[in-house]
Structures are given as C-alpha cells and as structure tokens.
Amino acid sequence: MTTFKELGLNSEIMKSLSDLGFLEPSPVQEKAITFILKSKKDLIALAQTGTGKTAAFGLPILNQIKTGRKDLQAIIICPTRELCIQISEDIKKLAKYSKGIITTAVYGGERIDIQIRALRKGTNIVVGTPGRVHDLIRRKILKLQNIRWLVLDEADEMLDMGFKDDLDAILEETPKTRQTLLFSATMSKSVNAIARKYMGDAEEISIGEKNIGAEKVTHEYFMVHPRDRFEALKRILDYLPGVYGILFCRTRRETGEIADKLKEANYDTEALHGDISQNMRTNIMDRFKRKQVRLLVATDVAARGIDVSDLSHVINYNLPDQNGAYIHRSGRTGRAQKSGISISIITPREVRRIGELEGTIGKKFELKKVPSGKDVCLKQIDNFLEEIEKTDIKNTNNEQYFKNFIERLKKINKEDLIKIFLTHKFNHFMDVYKNTQDLNATAKIFNTRSGEENHVSLKINFGKKEGFDIKGLFALINSDRKLKGIEIGRINLKLENSIFSVEKSRADDVVKQLQGAIFRGKKIDIKKSNETVGFHERRRENQSRGFKRKRKGFKRRSNI
C-alpha cells in the first residue's frame, strides 16, 4: 500500500497529515495527487462522495502553491454552504504548518460585506458556492484572471441544482492557462457537456465503474401499497433500534409532513428542506452530527453537502425521479470504509424501477419483508437484552442503591420478575403492535386480461418530438397533488403524442386535473382514447426502460 510520504508531498503537509492520523491515501487520493503533482493537464476524477476528494485536490494544490503572497491562486466551487465550509476547514487543517497560505470561504446565507472584507485583505484559495462566487465577480470583487487551479467539486450536483448559468459565467472569467480539476460522483450528460466546453485534453480517472454506487452499501427494498407507506416506515424504524441516517422525501411539503408525524410518534427526527432558515438548518445539523437527532428527513436538494461519515442507513420514502439521484442518496452511507444500508419503500407499480437501478449501480437489490408486529416486539426486546448483557456492573460505586431493592425483589419468582420487567419496558410496543396486519404487497401484472379491463387508455398531446419520456409522464402526474400515487399501466410514446393507461376509477380525475394545464410551456390536451398499447408497442416500451431480462438478464453494467 502506498503511503502519503511516497507521493512526494512536502514536510509541512506531512506533519499536518500526521496530526490528523492519515497515513495511507484512498484510491482517488493516490491517483489524483500523483497526477496533479506531475502534470498540468486538466483532470476528470469520478469517485463517490465520502472517498476523500477534498484531500485529493487540496494536497497537491497546497504542495505547489506560492506562499508568502496574497494573490488568488486557486478557486474551488462546490454546490452547498455546508460543503463549502467543510472544504475550507479541511484545507486549513491540511495547511496547518504551511505558513502564509490564506483560505477564504464565500457562500450565500451569510453577510456578503464580511466576505468582501476578507477577500480585500488578500487570499490564496477561495472556496465558494456558484451563486455567491458569481455575485462577487459581478461586483468586481473576485477576480479570477490569474488563477492557476480551478476545482469543480460535486460537479453533477451543482448542475442538478440549476447552477449551469453561474458556472458558465464563472468559467468564462478564468484564464485558459488554468488547470481544471473536475470531481464528480457520476458522469452525466450535463457534466460531460461542461467538460467538453471548458476542459482541454483532460485525463480521466475513475474509482470503480462510472455511475455505480458505493462499494460497501447494500440495497434493500420493501413493497407495500401506497396507503401503507408510512406505517411500513414506522415498522422498519422500530425494527432497526439505533438507526442513524437520512430519510429522503420528494417534496418540501412531504418532508415536513413526514417529520411531523414521526415526531408525534416520539421518533428523534427533524426536517431539512428549503423553507428552513439558515440558522435553524445549522442548529439541526449540529444536533444531527452529535446524534441528538437520529433521523434527518430531507429533500435531495437540502441534503446536498451533508457529510457525516458514520450513517448506518439511508431510507428512500419515495424513489427519486432520476436514477443518478439514487446514487447520491445511497452514497450518503457506506463512507470512509464503513458499511451502510440503503432502504427503499416502493409500491407494486414501482418494481420495474428496481430493475433499472440494479442496472445503473451494478448491484442486486434484496426484497425484504415488512416486519410483523410480533417481529418488531421481539427485535426490540432482543436488542435491549443485548445491551443488558454488555453492561458492566463490577466497577460501579452504586452498590448502596442495589442492596435494599435486591432483598425487596427476592420474593418474586425469577421468571415472573423477567416477565414483569420486560412487560413494563415494552408495554407500549406490545399494545401498538397487537393484532397488526401484514403490510407486504406483491407486484401487479397488468398485461393480463383482467388487468386490461381495469384500465383506460388516455391520449396526451406530448410525444418524443417535445422530448417527452416515461420520466416526464410520471413527473407530470406526480406534480398534481390530487393525482399523486395513481397507478399507470402501459405506455406508448409516439412522435406527436403518447398513449398511457390508468386505473379506470381515476381516468376522469386525470383528464379533469390535466386538461388545459400548462406543461413545459405548452397547453395540455388529454382525452380518453380507444387506442391500446399492443404487444409490439409494449415490447418497445419495456426495451426503452432497459427491461431485457428474459433475453439478456441484468447485463447493463458493462454498458455504463
């Protein structure tokens, strides 16, 4: 195994690494540091979050930066305030013994005048979010014409968050002589476009395969009916005593509602979404990192930039619309060589998405059964007894409290005492889970005759010509609160329009809610249709989703 010392880093940096207890570089650190120290070419580094990317670009920059000067030499762009602060603090730790290196963080949510004063005093490295950096450029405070290094960290997330225009404006202000270092978990089309436009003959390094999930994360899913989703979540949480993780929801509204319902049920949880003030967010994150909050309920956007290395679980209350977002979600656990579990709660209609995700990340998902009430109670008792068995009473000074009570309880039979003890401790669980129903559902097959009879075909004036696809259809349906959760059957995407089937009982609702609405700048025209998705059309639909299991099995990994 290569050590940091063998990579050629200077003595000041080595001393900082020693203080931090870092001896051996991670795979991305070894490859990136070696390359950046020896080459001036641009670099594209693909690696999951939590693999040590800050040191991968920070160490070689610190090793080469010209000290004793107050001119800006490197700028690091990242998606969120939290990540900006974290990177800035990490670089300061790595530069602890490197005299004269000044690092400044600039981000939204804080007074810009304070950040302007810090920049005017002089700085060597700026770490910033796209919006604030662009603002400072427009004010002619931040000047990038002479920088040597430009780092784009979590490039895919910045683009997913809508920062493309800001990034374009920032990159236009940088010199062609700069070395661009792009770090990303996935190589999406948008990231690839940025690389083609602004990077030269770039070297590419990839830790693992492109767009696959973190190596030490296992993936599980539970299948329930939509109405049982929250009850299933509670059972899963109760079956996992000590769970410490993030619960992902799709919308701000859903995030707040689920967090409130969990609080009412006495779970240690807080919501994190865009409507929360920066001060409250900081407070919640501080409590979460200290494990005073065990479960963070968050949207994808709100969770970006969170870096907690010991999360045990990531739970998807709903699957994200984009497969790439699932990679980011699941990558929040299984960090720093630790293992983690990604759990998804799905409906029977969503089972095809599991196949897509398996192809995307190159791993199998395990179908798990939602625990019964009895299972939950037994698990809680078992976990409690394990804690008791590990309790050390030999080295306590509390004997004075035990003696009288031991004598008092001697008259109770040992087995009865255990029953009384456990009943008192777990009476709440036993009552809550008495006579509970089985929440597990099975996947529905809609290509049977009975399935067809229960569905109605609808025709909508959006097709491939407008870039309309299956994800777009689901996004349209889910965008209307009254339609969310409606089960969609077969889909046939045509050039000028599309045909899709919905439950007969909800067909009129779909037409009523969508007719005349504006979608992607165009008025929707939707109506019932006698057209159906035939055998050949269905086959094309399934192939467009990557469903070729019968013929090729799960072999999409080699094509990623």
DSSP 449-473: HHHHHTEEEEEES--GGGT--HHHH
User: In whole angstroms, what is the distance from residue 168 CA to residue 158 CA?
Assistant: 12
The verdict on pTM exceeding 0.75 is no
Per the CB < 8 A criterion, the answer to whether 348 and 441 are in contact is yes
Residue whose pair of structure tokens reads 């960090």 in the numeric block: 335
| Residue 345: other Cβ atoms inside 10 A | 22
pLDDT digits (tens, 9 = 90+) for 294-332: 999 998 877 766 777 789 999 999 998 777 788 888 888
What is the overall mean pLDDT for the chain?
83
Region of residue 545 (left: phi > 0; alpha: psi -120 to 50; beta: else): alpha
pLDDT of residue 273: 81
Kind of pairing, strands 498-503 and 455-460?
antiparallel
- pLDDT of residue 535 exceeding 50, the answer is no
Residue 348 has what DSSP assignment? G
**Helices then strands, each counted (H, E), the chain:** 23, 20
Q: Which of 67-81, 432-446, 466-480 has the lowest mean pLDDT?
A: 432-446
Residue 337: band (very low, low, confident or very high) from pLDDT cuts 50, 70, 90: low
Per the CB < 8 A criterion, the answer to whether 155 and 204 are in contact is no
Half-sphere CA count of 125, side-chain side, radius 13 A: 29
pLDDT of residue 264: 92
| 497 three-class SS | coil
Q: Which of 261, 206, 210, 260 is nearest to 231 (CA)?
A: 261
- pLDDT of residue 456 exceeding 90, the answer is no
pLDDT of residue 353: 87
- pLDDT of residue 545 exceeding 60, the answer is no
Q: State in words which class domain 5-206 has.
A: alpha beta
- pLDDT of residue 162 exceeding 70, the answer is yes
- Sequence ranges of the chain with CATH classification 3.30.70.330: 449-549
401 vs 494: which has the higher pLDDT: 494
- pLDDT of residue 52 exceeding 50, the answer is yes
443 vs 64: which has the higher pLDDT: 64
Question: Homologous superfamily of 449-549 in CATH?
Answer: RRM (RNA recognition motif) domain (3.30.70.330)
Structure tokens at 252: 């701000």
User: In whole angstroms, what is the distance from residue 74 CA to residue 144 CA?
Assistant: 9
User: In whole angstroms, what is the distance from residue 227 CA to residue 206 CA?
Assistant: 42
Residue whose pair of structure tokens reads 């469903």 in the numeric block: 547
The amino acid at residue 204 is: E
Residue 140: band (very low, low, confident or very high) from pLDDT cuts 50, 70, 90: very high
Strands of the 43-46 sheet, one edge to the other: 103-106, 125-128, 74-77, 149-153, 179-184, 43-46, 203-206
User: In whole angstroms, what is the distance from residue 174 CA to residue 200 CA?
Assistant: 14
- Sequence ranges of the chain with CATH classification 3.40.50.300: 5-206
User: In whole angstroms, what is the distance from residue 469 CA to residue 355 CA?
Assistant: 18
Q: Which of 339, 294, 243 is nearest to 50 (CA)?
A: 339
Per the CB < 8 A criterion, the answer to whether 70 and 122 are in contact is yes
Structure tokens at 465: 């010509």
